[in-house]
């Protein structure tokens, strides 16, 4: 019989026997496990004392083109994006977004340029879900699986897209080579948008 901990049905159980000594130490230190966790297999309620009023925020979705990460066959724990209201201004923080379709499948496996276009389409729909556009993007971080091989194509697609949108000024941007979450994904982009709240 395995000893597990779980706070809610939505969380995957954590098998205590599989945790390293370091994991047990850290989970205990942040308050997720009681000091005698191996004798009392449960998670403690969160101890996040907030000493200030929380900022209004909610998750972003664009289900017509992009499923939720927690619906993947191997669920992942993040929101597609977060909307944060700061008085007269709103900020959108868009998570790393790739060429994933509404069923959570990779779209255009092996076709780098098509993956770029699908990634831009997905981000466009996330922006639209909050009443924003690419004109509101102030920063983009672009992750390429093979930057040496694909940067030229990436820059051509990005330049064509931004020219079509007539963006001026262009968003701040950084390109990084990175191993992405799936072998068949070749590009991923995260972005930050800011606009005046209506």
pLDDT in tens, 71-115: 766 667 778 999 999 989 999 999 999 999 888 889 999 999 999
Instruction: Please state the domain count of the chain.
Output: 2
Over the chain, what is the mean pLDDT?
A: 83
Same domain (yes/no): 171, 113: yes
pLDDT confidence bin for 158, thresholds 50/70/90: very high
CATH number at residue 163: 3.30.1330.40
Same domain (yes/no): 4, 37: yes
Same domain (yes/no): 35, 115: no
Whole domain around residue 175: which residue ranges?
56-196
- pLDDT at residue 147, rounded to an integer: 96
Q: Pick the range with the lowest mean pLDDT from 65-69, 101-105, 124-128, 194-198.
A: 65-69
DSSP per position, 38-94 = TTS--PPPP-----SPPPEEEE--BTTTB--GGGSSS-----SEEEEEETTEEEEEE
pLDDT confidence bin for 65, thresholds 50/70/90: confident
pLDDT confidence bin for 122, thresholds 50/70/90: very high
Same domain (yes/no): 40, 96: no
Residues 123-145 have a mean pLDDT of 95
Same domain (yes/no): 191, 94: yes
C-alpha span between 189 and 140 (Å, rounded): 7
Q: What is the pTM of this model?
A: 0.76
Same domain (yes/no): 81, 40: no
If we measure between CA atoms, which residue out of 93, 58, 79 comes closest to residue 193? 93
């Amino acid at each position: 019989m395995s000893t597990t901990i779980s706070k809610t049905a939505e969380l995957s159980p954590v098998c205590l026997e599989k945790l390293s000594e370091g994991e047990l130490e850290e989970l205990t230190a942040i308050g997720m496990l009681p000091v005698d966790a191996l004798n009392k297999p449960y998670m403690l309620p969160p101890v996040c004392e907030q000493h200030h009023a929380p900022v209004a925020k909610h998750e972003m979705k664009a289900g017509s083109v992009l499923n939720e990460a927690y619906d993947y066959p191997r669920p992942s724990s993040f929101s597609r994006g977060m909307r944060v209201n700061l008085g007269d201004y709103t900020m959108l923080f868009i998570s790393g977004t790739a060429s994933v379709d509404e069923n959570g499948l990779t779209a255009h496996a092996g076709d780098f340029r098509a993956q770029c276009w699908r990634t831009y389409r997905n981000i466009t729909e996330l922006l639209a879900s909050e009443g924003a556009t690419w004109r509101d993007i102030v920063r983009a971080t672009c992750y390429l699986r093979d930057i040496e091989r694909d940067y030229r194509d990436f820059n051509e697609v990005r330049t064509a897209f931004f020219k079509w949108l007539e963006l001026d000024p262009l968003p701040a941007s950084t390109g990084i080579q990175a191993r992405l979450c799936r072998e068949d994904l070749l590009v991923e982009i995260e972005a930050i948008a800011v606009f005046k709240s209506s």
